[in-house]
Amino acid sequence: MVHHGEHGKKRHGKGQKHKRLDMIEEGGKVKILNIYTSGKLMQKLLDMGFIIGSEIIVVREAPLRDPMELKIHNYNISLRKSEAALIEVEEV
Amino acid sequence: MSDIKVALSGQPNCGKSTIFNMVSGIDQHIANYPGVTVDKKTGHFKYADHKIEMVDLPGTYSFSSYSLEERVAKEFIIDESPDVIVDVVDASNIKRNLYLTFQLLEIGIPVVVVLNMMDVAERRGIDIDSAKISEMLGCKVIEASGAKGIGGEEIMKAIVDTAKAKKNYEDFKIHYEELEPHIKAIEDKISDTSLSLNKRWMAIKVLEGDVTILSHLEKEFPDIKDAADHEINKFHSLYDKDTVAFLATFRYDSADIIYHKAIVEKNAGKETLTDKADKIVLNRWLALPILFAIMFLVYQLSIVGGYKLTDYTWPLLAAVKNFVLDISPAPYLTDVPMITDFALWMINSANALMNYIPIFFILFALIAIMEDIGYMPRMAFILDRLFRKFGLHGQSTLPLVLGGAFVGGCAVPGVMATKGIADDRARMATILTVPYMNCLAKVPFYTLLLGAFFVSSMSLMMLYISTVTIFTALIASKILTSTFLNTRETAPFLMELPPYHAPTFKGVILSATQRVWVYIYKVLTIVLAVAVVLFAMLQFPGINKDTKIQYDKELEKALVVFDKKVKKSKYHGQVDTKDEIADLLNYYDSYRAKRMATTSKGGAASIDEKYKTKNADFFNFIKPRKDKEAKKVNRALRKLAKSRNRILRNMKNEKVENSLLGMAGKSVEPLTKYAGFDWKINVAFLSSFAARESAVATLGSLYENNQADSQRAEEAMAQNSGYTPLHAVAIIIFMLLTPPCIATMIVVKMQTNSYRWMFFAIFFPVFLGVAISSLVFILGSKYDWGGVEAMSYFYFSVVAIALALGFYPSKKKNWTGGLRADINK
């Protein structure tokens, strides 16, 4: 279900169905396919509801373009793009 | 009859503190959890003959062990084994909140669920079937609204009922399907543990790799970690699943089942008020202006407005001071009893800090309001990218502003406001950089130096001084986070942006009062202790006998002059002995002190009345009106008082020069001479450590001209010190970087929970200050820079370095391995 280790950027280039969360534009609606991390960050993501299959709406970017605001499980959370890049999603 | 111990748990932003305040009233006690800086609030109340003790656990999203708050909460459950856990759930955000509820239920201690903010949920069209939830979870579910004061009775009743029925409590169990055999294996292993906790819960926690539980179990089962790893790996190889993710997913799925069976959202997908507000507050173009406006408002209301309020509170403090002086033994001409000196010193030290209380109260109330509303995380969201570059956090904004990002603030509330920063490294960096901001008490010091050396370019210099601090703070933070703090724990930036809530009046006042009380209780007591030490260092060894005789002679001279003048008056008989003159001088001084402490006309009249009845003859000398004979005495008296004050001041200066502190100032002169500081400046800096205010007082008195009494301190300093503007720039730079005062040190100790960091917070800035002011002074002397020129070079170098650090990409190498360096050779 969850893979540890390095995630290759090659696998999700532009135009493909699978994307990284940080590439999704404002208003985009996506579903989590995979999370490529472990340890503390993984635990925190799980605790905040980043479970495989959960739906996310990208609400906005901060005025300085990073971090981003997301809606998940009907509440709002902000996430830095560096961390969003570890989440693989597909648009729904 | 029996006592019930309750732990209050819940996720952040669920309104837990409003529930706590509602149930426990104002009978609250705040302490720290042992060894950490997390607040532990305890409330006591009675219900139906039961004494209930309620402990407010830190708000946590989960019950894993990755954050400090979670570890603290878990330690409390393990060590104190409460009778009941009250779980506060935000009814308007029920799914994520139930994730924690499931973890609490598994602990094996009876749970009472409180659905808080039912009014908000209703407004948003969320229908909750609480009876259904109660039935599904097998525990009491109470509907409440802490902000509206609804549900308090019911919560207390549910606590008592649940505690009474404890014996009938059947353990709550989630069936984890394919993980079950592995849970069973661990459970069997720890079956004969002496810990009184639920074994199944411990087994689950072990499979989650929970360090708190593992370290407790390791005492009895040294190989528990290996056993855990074995089961985790087995589970992974059998099902290709990770236990941590599996458990979290299972709990979210369970929460989802409840959500679908017991909750109907009529307005799902509709824009809420918070969504609408955030379209403005977090708008790409409006967010920064709004943030600056809010910061400016906070600053104006608290620092500026609070400072004005001190005009009204200062007379109260002055009255206390006068009272203490009244009951202390009176001085006899130039012989001031040490106990009187001591009392005056202590009361001055205390008053200097007490004077800030109005400012702090307003500040803490405003912080509480911003916390309650939910603006804090939004502020972090807006500025995180900027601060992150320097190792800080979006949440560092407020502490830095309070510390004095504009013209002057105070590091004490600034450091206290770092409490909420989730990232430990950024929090430490913020604590250590807030003191670089310009504190209010530094302002008179700058004014004195600018008035003495930079009369024509005062505003430019002030602009430099007030804007350079944020850049120095950023540089300091970057240096600290990439060196001393490099190994500190960082936390992932996953920050909830909660819905906006109206603050409650009671909550704001409670929070502000509690924080002010912490200040009074912790800071003041220690500052007074240090004040005693400083007093001793300034008193001993005192002035030697020969010079004392010299001063006595000067006094005799002044008395002779007085007598000559008074002889012409018909009142001569009343003031022709030393005792009488000493009494008159004391009478005159105490009258003046009282008069200065009042501003109202009525107050002045009543003081006049009091002194008239005390001694009508003396009063006639002080206020002679049309009595020509008394006027003669009055004139002579004023001259004598001036002479005596001059002698006292000289004696004091000599005492300071000979004192231990003076010696300390002289002994570091070889080091500070590179920055152009002589011992007088050193003494001023040393004494400013007690409280910044005293730097100005010390310098002022050290440079006062003995002949011309009407000279202002600025002029006196410019003429008598022998400094050039370059000296002044070196002094200003040192003051900009100088270590925080004792009060700040104590809050640094409180917030870092370590004396080592406290001492670091003292010596690092001193080192930096001496180094940089020496550099500027040496270069300035060599190339013959003027004062403004030197300051400009300093200013633009600092700004350039900060910008360079900011633009320099902070890419980190996050891989290891490859051929080892020694093999490569």
**Preceding peptide of B331 cis, ω within 30°:** no
Please state the ipTM of this predicted complex: 0.86
**Preceding peptide of A67 cis, ω within 30°:** yes
What pLDDT is stored for residue A79 in this prediction?
94
Among the partner residues A40, A62, A76, nearest to B66 by beta-carbon distance:
A40
- Beta pairing partners, B409: B439
pLDDT in tens, B347-378: 877 877 788 788 889 988 998 898 889 998 99
* A67 interaction partners in chain B (CB closer than 8 Å): 381, 384-385, 493
Q: Could A78 and B95 be called an inter-chain contact, meaning their C-beta atoms sit closer than 8 Å?
A: no
Q: How far apart are CA B404 and CA B164, in angstroms?
A: 54
Question: What is the SS3 string spanning B712-761?
Answer: CHHHHHHHHCCCCHHHHHHHHHHHHHCCCCHHHHHHHHHHHCCHHHHHHH
- Long-range Cβ pairs for the range B560-563 (8 Å, 24+): B561/B636, B561/B639, B561/B640, B561/B643, B562/B636, B562/B637, B562/B639, B562/B640
Structure tokens at B754: 């370590």
Q: Could B93 and A75 be called an inter-chain contact, meaning their C-beta atoms sit closer than 8 Å?
A: yes
Among the partner residues B61, B95, B493, nearest to A47 by beta-carbon distance:
B61
pLDDT in tens, B272-306: 889 999 999 999 999 999 998 998 888 788 877 88
Q: In chain B, which among 485-524 make CB contacts under 8 A with chain A?
A: 491-498
Backbone angles phi and psi of B808, in degrees to 5: -65, 120
Residue type, B751: Q
What pLDDT is stored for residue B820 in this prediction?
43
What pLDDT is stored for residue B324 in this prediction?
86
Q: How far apart are CA B705 and CA B820, in angstroms?
A: 71
Nearest alpha carbon to residue B439 among B417, B466, B408, B462: B408
Q: Residue A19 falls within a domain, yes or no?
A: yes
Looking only at the bridges linking them, the beta strands covering B50-56 and B3-10 are parallel
* B99 interaction partners in chain A (CB closer than 8 Å): 47, 49
Q: How far apart are CA B548 and CA B707, in angstroms?
A: 20
Mean pLDDT score across all residues of chain B: 85
Measured torsion, CA atoms of residues B670, B671, B672, B675, in degrees rounded to the nearest 10: 110
Q: How far apart are CA B107 and CA B197, in angstroms?
A: 8
What pLDDT is stored for residue B406 in this prediction?
61
* B491 interaction partners in chain A (CB closer than 8 Å): 40, 44
Q: Is B241 left (phi over 0), alpha (psi -120 to 50) or beta?
A: beta
Nearest-neighbour CA in chain A from B465: distance (Å): 28
Structure tokens at B548: 């004392």
Q: Could B62 and A51 be called an inter-chain contact, meaning their C-beta atoms sit closer than 8 Å?
A: no
Looking only at the bridges linking them, the beta strands covering B3-10 and B84-90 are parallel
Q: Which CATH superfamily is domain B3-168 in?
A: P-loop containing nucleotide triphosphate hydrolases (3.40.50.300)
* CB-CB neighbours of B187 under 10 Å: 17
What pLDDT is stored for residue A12 in this prediction?
45
What pLDDT is stored for residue B226 in this prediction?
93
Size of interface A-B (CB pairs under 8 A): 119
- Beta pairing partners, A89: A19, A32
Q: How far apart are CA B115 and CA B136, in angstroms?
A: 15
Residue type, B652: K
Q: How far is CA B744 from CA A17, B39, B119, in A?
A: 55, 19, 42
Put simply, whether B287 touches A (Cβ < 8 Å) is yes
Q: Is B575 helix (H, G, I), strand (E, B) or coil?
A: helix
CB B30, CB B41: distance < 8 Å: yes
**In angstroms, how far is CA B355 from the centroid of its own chain?**
16
Q: How far apart are CA B67 and CA B62, in angstroms?
A: 9
Nearest-neighbour CA in chain A from B15: distance (Å): 15
Residues contacting B401, CB < 8 A, separation 6+: B295, B298, B299, B409, B414
Q: How far apart are CA B711 and CA B716, in angstroms?
A: 6
pLDDT in tens, B104-121: 999 999 999 999 999 999
* A64 interaction partners in chain B (CB closer than 8 Å): 382-386
Q: Residue A75 falls within a domain, yes or no?
A: yes
Q: What is the mean pLDDT of residues B787-800?
A: 93
Nearest-neighbour CA in chain A from B133: distance (Å): 19
CATH number at residue A84: 2.30.30.90
Q: How confident is the model at residue B730 (pLDDT cuts 50, 70, 90)?
A: very high
More confident: B543 or B115: B115
pLDDT at B706 over 60: no
* A4 interaction partners in chain B (CB closer than 8 Å): 242
Q: Where do the H-state alpha helices sit in B219-304?
A: 224-239, 243-262, 273-281, 287-299
pLDDT at A6 over 50: no
Give Dmax (Cα) for chain A. 35
What is the residue whose two structure tokens read 């007085």? B562
Pick among B494, B497, B816 to test the A interface (most A CBs inside 10 A): B494
Q: How far apart are CA B549 and CA B44, in angstroms?
A: 65
Q: Which domain holds residue A31?
A: 9-91
Put simply, whether B271 touches A (Cβ < 8 Å) is no
Q: Could B493 and A64 be called an inter-chain contact, meaning their C-beta atoms sit closer than 8 Å?
A: no
Query: How many domains does chain A fold into?
Result: 1
CB B670, CB B558: distance < 8 Å: no
Q: In chain A, which among 60-79 make CB contacts under 8 A with chain B?
A: 60-67, 69, 73-79
Q: Residue A58 falls within a domain, yes or no?
A: yes
Q: Could A83 and B245 be called an inter-chain contact, meaning their C-beta atoms sit closer than 8 Å?
A: no
Q: How far is CA B73 from CA B9, B22, B79, B683, B702, in A?
A: 8, 21, 10, 47, 55
pLDDT in tens, B150-159: 999 999 999 9
What is the residue whose two structure tokens read 């405003």? B366
* A29 interaction partners in chain B (CB closer than 8 Å): none
- Beta pairing partners, A79: A68, B494
CB B88, CB B14: distance < 8 Å: yes
Name the residue ranges covered by the structural domains of chain B: 3-168, 177-239, 288-323+337-540+669-704+714-825, 545-655
Nearest alpha carbon to residue B134 among B105, B113, B103, B106: B113
* CB-CB neighbours of B616 under 10 Å: 9
